[in-house]
A and B are shown apart, each in its own frame.
Chain A
């Protein structure tokens, strides 16, 4: 066991070189690092948000609202389909996730079903009918439409993916340092922005759904009707963005939506000199917008953002080019912000902020300092103690421990695993447990020497027989690290990573490096007695 086979020496030397080379970037100033040639590793430790400062935001996609909106749309789609086909119906409404409608003419029920089947809902993979909606003929002209159960999940996943794209667009345009935006579970999004970023601005820009629609104002509904609640089923009353603006009745169906927008920008109105948002529709959107404005000259339409209208201009002439301006009481800044939101697209659903953790950069720097001092003091105390306890062999263990630190930092730098503040505590504990492996080996050697073995044979047997205990002990550590990694969030994950990497480097260094050193010492010193016996 203690023979100095070539592979052992090579492995030890390589690991030491590896540790030094990959740890070095952390110790060099950035300027020196930049000047180094490209093949030298440049990656520094990837510090967690708690160490470098930054914001962690957890949003939940409001899937209930999404569902409610889809059901409202379904009701409107049923109405439009049946009207277009001149099928008479009544009792159209939605309750408990089911849209119900009664077809008045019994001979047209089948026609209604087949028409609705064509127009309602969309395709959905993995379902029997291949569609996300089902239509039930209850008899007596009564039809029930609902979403299949899988549709909710598919919608949530789609909403999360879309939201991530939109958020990325928005944040990129703000010029924030590369944020990490990831989905979590079925309906959550985590945003991690490192460094000195303004969390409030980040929240403001992410929190806006920015759903833009153009809806006709229903001028047949009077002020008195609204007060009395006499509102036709196809009309909805919405408030204004401006405080004190009177609510207006608009048609539930949107003429055009923000999805058809190609671009938006902050401009100034030629006549009034006020800040406005200019917009342009592309292809289909332009055609829809042109048609709608041609058909409705002289009427008012409302520009609606997230359920509130910004302005309700009158259509003076058809706008076939598909471009126009949104007026409102904008400042140049608020117009620019709206343009940014419109350009990056709407979020498919409202996002609720569920969790926020923000750490200032200064506090992060404090944590790095405290962590480094703790690590240095802890390691130094261990070095001194282990050398006092085991003398020369303790020195070997201390060397192994030092290489262990280098290897952990090197591997973490190379793999860009995140080091968190609790992770530093994990690192320190890992070192303490790494020493345990050496203690087990040395104690075994002492036992064997006491049992009368020669120094060489005692040392050899010590390594071999301690290995079983060391393996058993480390398996339990791996179990707890893996559990922390799979179930923990944020800093705890970092803690687990450090622990896990530490277990493997500790096994390697504590067993192999001390073995090579002791083997070499046996060769040189030819001892008659073990120094720890």
Chain B
């Protein structure tokens, strides 16, 4: 029974030299960022109709969908550059296309739907979206604006709560998370839609959460050990936080795992993005946000100690 609960399996005190490995991590991260950048600028994001405008129809048949025949049919209907992708099961397919510039996407969608039903009598169209170029352009702008505002507000909060060098460390790390997540979406050609923005905002939230919790501990240790070098205190704080990071990270991944496998193809991109973001957010807290503080340094005077009151007599 000594090893249960499992928390006893995690060593009580670890002495990993996180900071020592930070330069290696930095090179690793830079390479990943470079790769994301290359993918981002060569093939870009796979914008969904939310942001690009156009038509998306989900087609369903009681038998597997003859994708080849469907493609030929679509071309003969004048739906140019129509994409047909299997969706969830072989009986399902997602059809996407961009109508001509002078054509109303909604009308185009209805026309196509009717033609498809004539050609494939057993086909049903359970969902149908059509978005005009004006609205989709606004959605894209709004989406990125939301990301920007979220970042700015969180920077403001951390700056106010901890100080500028913490804020900078956190924001650089969160930027890193966003770039890598966007890079992953670009490399794997995962559709970028309004829900991807929601996923990114959640990733930012989770990642900030990780940083804030380690910052809290770092700040506390800075007061506790006034003469220890900053580098050692960062290592200490991270080691002290390690068991919490492992438990929380595992719980989050377990929770999302259920959705990843049972949530179906609609939720998959959202959950996949969040899962990746949780992993990358945890990594960047340890190897980027905290080591970056070392670059700028922090004030360690007593004036730093006064703002937070943890309750009288609790300081050992």
A residues near B (Cβ < 8 Å) are 50, 58, 60, 199-200, 203, 352-360, 362-363, 366-367, 370-371, 373-382, 385-394, 421-422, 424-426, 428-429, 431-433, 435-436, 439-440, 442-443, 446-447, 450-451, 461, 464-465, 468-469, 472-473, 475-477, 479-481, 483-484, 487-492, 495-496, 499, 531-532
Residue pair B258, A381 in contact (C-beta under 8 Å):
yes
Q: Please measure, in the bound complex, the distance between the C-alpha atom of A478 and the C-alpha atom of B143, giving whole angstroms.
A: 18
Residues of A within 8 A of B216 (CB): 468-469, 472
Chain B residue nearest to A185 (CB atoms) is B138
* A382 interface neighbour in B244, B254, B267, B310, Cβ under 8 Å: B254
Number of A-B contacts (CB under 8 A): 243
Known contacts A370-B262, A425-B274, A433-B209; A381 and B254 CB within 8 A of each other: yes
The 6 closest A-B pairs by CB, nearest first: A378-B258, A391-B5, A377-B258, A360-B126, A432-B252, A363-B126
Measured between C-beta atoms, what is the minimum distance from A30 to chain B in Å? 24
Residue pair B266, A421 in contact (C-beta under 8 Å):
yes
Q: Please measure, in the bound complex, the distance between the C-alpha atom of A432 and the C-alpha atom of B142, giving whole angstroms.
A: 28
Measured between C-beta atoms, what is the minimum distance from B290 to chain A in Å? 15
Residue pair B263, A490 in contact (C-beta under 8 Å):
no
* B255 interface neighbour in A387, A429, A461, Cβ under 8 Å: A429
Measured between C-beta atoms, what is the minimum distance from A79 to chain B in Å? 35
Residue pair B264, A366 in contact (C-beta under 8 Å):
yes
Interface residues of B in 92-137 (CB under 8 A from A): 104, 106, 109-110, 124-132, 134-135
Q: Please measure, in the bound complex, the distance between the C-alpha atom of A475 and the C-alpha atom of B201, giving whole angstroms.
A: 14
Residues of A within 8 A of B209 (CB): 433, 436, 473, 476-477
Q: Please measure, in the bound complex, the distance between the C-alpha atom of A203 and the C-alpha atom of B149, giving whole angstroms.
A: 36
B side interface size, CB within 8 A = 77
Measured between C-beta atoms, what is the minimum distance from A372 to chain B in Å? 9
Measured between C-beta atoms, what is the minimum distance from A361 to chain B in Å? 9
Chain A residue nearest to B209 (CB atoms) is A473
Given contacts A360-B124, A374-B258, 14 further A-B contacts (CB under 8 A): A360-B127, A362-B126, A394-B5, A425-B267, A425-B270, A429-B274, A439-B248, A469-B217, A479-B154, A480-B154, A488-B198, A489-B194, A492-B197, A495-B195
* B140 at interface by CB-CB < 8 Å: no
* B213 at interface by CB-CB < 8 Å: yes
Known contacts A377-B262, A532-B7; A480 and B252 CB within 8 A of each other: no
* B188 at interface by CB-CB < 8 Å: no
Known contacts A432-B252, A468-B310; A443 and B129 CB within 8 A of each other: no
Residue pair A476, B205 in contact (C-beta under 8 Å):
yes
* B240 at interface by CB-CB < 8 Å: yes
Q: Please measure, in the bound complex, the distance between the C-alpha atom of A313 and the C-alpha atom of B142, giving whole angstroms.
A: 53
Residue pair B255, A390 in contact (C-beta under 8 Å):
no
Q: Please measure, in the bound complex, the distance between the C-alpha atom of A376 and the C-alpha atom of B310, giving whole angstroms.
A: 38
Q: Please measure, in the bound complex, the distance between the C-alpha atom of A433 and the C-alpha atom of B207, giving whole angstroms.
A: 11
22 residue pairs of the A-B complex, CB under 8 angstroms, read A60-B134, A353-B106, A353-B132, A356-B128, A356-B130, A370-B263, A371-B263, A378-B254, A388-B4, A394-B5, A425-B259, A436-B209, A446-B7, A446-B12, A451-B316, A465-B314, A476-B205, A476-B209, A483-B146, A488-B197, A489-B139, A491-B195
